[in-house]
Amino acid sequence: MKNIKRRFFIKSSSLVAGGLVLPSFNINRMANSSNNKKLKVSVVGCGGRGTGAAVQALRADENVELIAMADAFKDRLDNSLSAIKQEMEGEKTIDVKEKNRFTGFNAYKRAIDLADVVILATPPGFRPLHFKYAIDNDKHVFMEKPVATDANGVRQVLETAKVANQKKLNVVVGLQRRYQYSYLNILKQVRRGVIGKITSGQVRWNGAGVWVRGRKPNQTEMEYQMRNWYYFNWLCGDHIVEQHIHNIDVANWFINEYPVSAQGMGGREVRKGVDHGEIFDHHFVEFKYASGATISSQCRHQPGTHRQVNELIVGTKGKVNITNKGIIDIEDHDGNVIHTYDGRNDESPYQIEHNRLFKSIRDGGHLNDAEYGAKATMSAILGRMATYSGKLVTWDEAINANDNMIPENPNWNSNPPAMPNENGNYTIPVPGQYKIS
């Protein structure tokens, strides 16, 4: 299992059932500075991303202990723990005691209570609640993107971010491009003005899509949706929010603004079975910024189609096409190369973000990504509102929406917000009819 690529699915033993995904690692252990306290880490959400983040946290600091784990499902927790032990074999002994392995909807509280640092990696619908509990209880946090699935959740995260600032707690959000050397290098050149004022751009995450987990006999509707969470908005937010947020965030970051409005189109052409829930399989959005820039955003989940994941940023003097790795050229409008960055041997940004988090904790520093993580999430939700409604939607309309999708005190027998009809189908948003509350 050593050095598994982030999106490479394990195809052996019981790990398949957990849908386990681990990133590649370039280990760069961090010195403990003058503070040698053992830092206790808890993982809340034991899918592929939680598992990978736990390994990265363990590798970021020599004096870190995985103390507790929490997940809605015991099998996912068990698979995750097994994978962490295999990945860390020969580096660290992993011993999460049985009494510190918690399952169920309220398991997060018990795991967070035991930790100094918390990894939040459940389906993102639960993120605002879990983040608030962690900060209220004085924990440092790594939380995966997106940080919410509706505007109400974004507002909650923004309020909790203020509390984290007051308490000087460290918060890192898994928008790892902001920690990636290539993006930082290119951003530095853009800030220097080598491409002039940014006027437009194209951001894309077009591919075949992700896993589907079909309904099993005797599952309640709640368990089915929790297992197949990617296809339900209250849990996932649609793939424009859960996945394409990375590219939208890069546009915001480089322009140094958030969109003031969005309009677009989308729908379901290929992925429209009963196990595909209520989300679209393609979105196209035009984001407008106060500076006058327009960003065209594409995301698609359709097998057999052209795959493209990148960000093209265009200015008055030049342009740059940023890809996740490899050689990146900044060019003027005549095609002349202005600047080149070779990122082929860079360290994994997934590891870097954990290195930075634990170094800040050790040094008594203060990192807090929660505000831009929340606003990146809101930008993607704004795009979703535009494609679902078919209307031009302003930032103010979107962020002030009364759209709380998260059920209060859910249990395995309670009804989720989206329920199927007699044929097993869910209500799909219809442009021109969908209303923003």
Domain boundaries, the chain: 8-177+351-371, 178-346+377-399
- At 16, is the pLDDT very low, low, confident or very high (cuts 50, 70, 90)? very low
pLDDT at position 413 is: 95
- At 10, is the pLDDT very low, low, confident or very high (cuts 50, 70, 90)? very low
pLDDT at position 324 is: 77
- C-alpha 71/C-alpha 121 separation (Å) is 9
- At 325, is the pLDDT very low, low, confident or very high (cuts 50, 70, 90)? confident
Q: Which residue has the higher pLDDT, 28 or 287?
A: 287
pLDDT average, residue stretch 63-88: 98
pLDDT at position 385 is: 98
pLDDT average, residue stretch 268-277: 96
% of the chain surpassing 90 pLDDT:
90
pLDDT at position 32 is: 33
Q: Which residue has the higher pLDDT, 288 or 21?
A: 288
Tell me the pairing of strands 282-288 and 261-267: antiparallel
Domain at 178-346+377-399, CATH class: alpha beta
% of the chain surpassing 70 pLDDT:
92
pLDDT average, residue stretch 373-397: 98
The reply to whether 178-346+377-399 shares the fold of 8-177+351-371 is no
Q: Is the pLDDT of residue 33 over 60?
A: no
Q: Is the pLDDT of residue 212 over 70?
A: yes
Which CATH architecture does the domain made up of 8-177+351-371 adopt? Answer: 3-Layer(aba) Sandwich (3.40)
pLDDT at position 293 is: 98
